A and B are shown apart, each in its own frame.
Chain A
């Protein structure tokens, strides 16, 4: 075996190791969640709200309040972050602002992306205290929106940057304004990336516990208005998994399984829906 073949083989092996580490971790995580959680998964768990005994492992009760809470927090937050994110992402392009300014904004967004979610939580908590209000769905949504904006914006921005300039020139040559081009043409071309950004943001939002810990609070009831506090799946997992009782910790795994299923379902649904538009993308 000569030196170059040896080199090639070593790198092949290194790559295989890296890939198996990543794929292996994913498989192990999903497997552990299923093995630990599936036995505790029941119709009652999904259709009942939690009660005091629930946390003591005395049967009864479920996590419906957390499921509803998570959707009530993450869906509006992702919606808001998308609206703000797409506006920023479209505006960051060369057509609108000079690239040094865009570079500065991108840099700021990257820094925001790196801020731990607990900081967003504390930030919203302080505002909440200042306004004399208490933990609620509203502040949970605000915290998650802030958390998701940099992720969604940067992801959309990167995919919009890849829209070929020739396509924009084509639209401009038909007499489109910058606005018309940015709203009617560019997003259609960048759709796969935009969608990926939304999913990434949603995934981050629905799975984050730290930012909603103080801002959304925790309760056993399903919130009846945006001023009520609410439980969510991540905070529920947190509550359950800190228990000393194995029965309760098993419920934490079941809750994690529910969270995984929700994220997978949303991901598959939106990908299927977007297939309708992706066929228009010009290569």
Chain B
């Protein structure tokens, strides 16, 4: 990774707690633009919390305290009086288990377009087709666009969720262990898509499988008990880790 690459997301002294239970402590990270950044670490170390803080999804919960700064393109998104839906629109989300909207396949992709733009019917149809093609789903569903999304297989649902996310033209795609609920083949498809997407989007991938991170990541952030232990370009991180805890994690001594 070249050092002059633009920084898309940066956190400064980010602290998050739920009901006075501290989940993230003093997080200072930099996520480069148009690269795939993997956030790794054992279960319960705060990976998902960190990911969801980027698009202010944590706020749906009760009693969440967030302190510090999260800079997206240099602007702090934790400032008060911001248009939160607008922040979220810039960050697509792929969750652990796919949750298509309770609508038809077509409407799942068209939903975001309808709430954000005045595109007419033809334009929406075109964008829906384009997005479904981007995720390799078009040929599988073109004959049944009006069927409920719930009838698709889990792998297809996950790709549909990716299609609906890119339909609203985000800058970042946040992925929360998107392959953990999928069979190996579907997981492979998603991985390939993520690699393709990083040309146009900044991809942040939370994963607990080291092998996946090794396969796809350009940049790695290692979280342990709510703190950043080490971060850096993937080749350095995996081949020459500095921190003893990172070494222990990479060698499988802690998990």
Contact = CB atoms under 8 A, between A and B. Distances in A.
Kindly state the interface size class of chain A when it binds its partner.
20 to 34
Interface string B132-155: 000000000000000011110000
A173 B91 CA distance: 7
Contacts of B61: 94
B178 to A, nearest CB: 12
Contacts of B71: none
Contacts of A95: 60
Interface size class of B (residues with CB under 8 A): 35 or more
B97 interface: yes
B95 A189 contact: no
B148 A173 contact: no
Contacts of A171: 101, 111
Given A174-B168, A175-B115, A169 B102 contact: no
Contacts of B104: 280
Contacts, number: 91
A239 to B, nearest CB: 47
B89 A170 contact: no
Given A98-B62, A99-B62, A173 B150 contact: no
Nearest to B114: A184
Q: Is the interface of A mostly helix, strand, loop or mixed?
A: helix
Given A166-B95, A281-B102, A173 B86 contact: no
A173 B93 contact: yes
A165 interface: yes
B66 to A, nearest CB: 16
A158 to B, nearest CB: 18
Interface string B213-230: 000000000000000000
Contacts of B62: 94, 98-99
Contact of B165 (A99, A168, A173): A173
A164 interface: yes
B55 interface: yes
Interface string A7-50: 00000000000000000000000000000000000000000000
B247 interface: no
Interface in A161-212: 164-177, 180, 184-185, 188-189, 191
Interface string B162-193: 00110010000010000000000000000000
15 contacts: A167-B99, A167-B102, A169-B93, A172-B88, A173-B88, A173-B92, A173-B165, A173-B174, A174-B89, A174-B115, A177-B85, A185-B101, A280-B148, A281-B150, A282-B101
